[in-house]
């Protein structure tokens, strides 16, 4: 059986081997080297302990947060909040304008405006409708607007405003301008929101 014995001087370059031989020859050098090694080892253990303590602290904090979330989830608080908000949400959604297509929505809105204006005796000129195809609100509701104008007659105009305010559907006045001379007339922009299309 062959036994391979590796010499320290063969495994380590000659300069390092000579440095160890010279500097660790006396007892004082060996004690200093052992002290340095002990200091480095103790420092390493201290860093590992500090890191381990930080990880344990983070883990404990995460466990406390999870316990609080589980405790909230087990209560009826969120179920009660959902019940409380369901009715106002349904009522608000019911006030949104709806139609099968954008074209129908614009036509229905325009017809409603003309109907209300005719009821109060106001002649409305051209009505221009548009739909905002890129909504920037959290619910992604598209806004339908109508720009219209006509001769201003105080009594009829105030009745028109009352009809707009009393409508079951949500209709707001975005802009209103009244011109007194040379001919009294008004221009305004009405706006509403389209109900989101049902997901297929």
Nearest to 162 by CA among 196, 195, 117, 132: 117
Averaged pLDDT for residues 77-101? 77
More confident residue, 3 or 61: 61
pLDDT over 90 (residue 170): no
pLDDT at res. 11: 47
Which CATH class name applies to 94-193? alpha beta
Average pLDDT over the chain reads 78
More confident residue, 93 or 148: 148
Burial 146-155 (b: 16+ CB within 10 A, else e): bbbbbebbee
pLDDT at res. 72: 67
Q: Is the dihedral of CA 136, 137, 138, 144 positive or negative?
A: negative
Q: Start-end ranges of CATH 3.30.70.60 in the chain?
A: 94-193
The tokens for 117 are 């204006």
Q: For residue range 11-64, what is the model confidence (pLDDT) as tens digits?
A: 446 666 666 666 666 666 666 777 777 777 777 767 777 677 777 788 888 888
pLDDT over 80 (residue 151): yes
Residue 192, Cβ neighbours under 10 Å: how many?
21
Q: What pTM, to 2 d.p., does this model score?
A: 0.54
Contact yes or no for 192/174 (Cβ under 8 A): no
């Amino acid at each position: 059986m062959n036994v391979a014995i590796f010499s320290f001087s063969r495994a380590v370059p000659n300069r390092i081997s000579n440095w160890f031989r010279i500097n660790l020859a006396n007892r004082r050098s060996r004690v200093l080297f052992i002290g340095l090694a002990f200091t480095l080892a103790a420092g390493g253990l201290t860093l590992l302990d500090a890191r381990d303590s930080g990880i344990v602290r983070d883990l404990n904090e995460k466990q406390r947060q999870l316990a609080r979330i589980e405790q909230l989830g087990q209560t009826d608080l969120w179920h009660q909040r959902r019940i409380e908000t369901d009715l106002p949400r349904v009522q608000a959604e019911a006030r949104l304008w709806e139609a099968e297509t954008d074209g129908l929505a614009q036509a229905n809105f325009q017809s409603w405006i003309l109907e209300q204006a005719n009821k109060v005796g106001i002649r409305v000129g051209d009505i221009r409708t548009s739909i905002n195809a890129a909504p920037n609100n959290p619910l992604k509701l598209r806004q339908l607007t109508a720009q219209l104008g006509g001769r201003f007659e105080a009594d009829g105009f105030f009745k028109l405003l009352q009809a707009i305010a009393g409508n079951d559907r949500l209709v707001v006045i975005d802009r209103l301008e009244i011109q007194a001379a040379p001919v009294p007339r008004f221009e305004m922009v009405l706006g509403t929101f389209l109900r989101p299309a049902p997901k297929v």
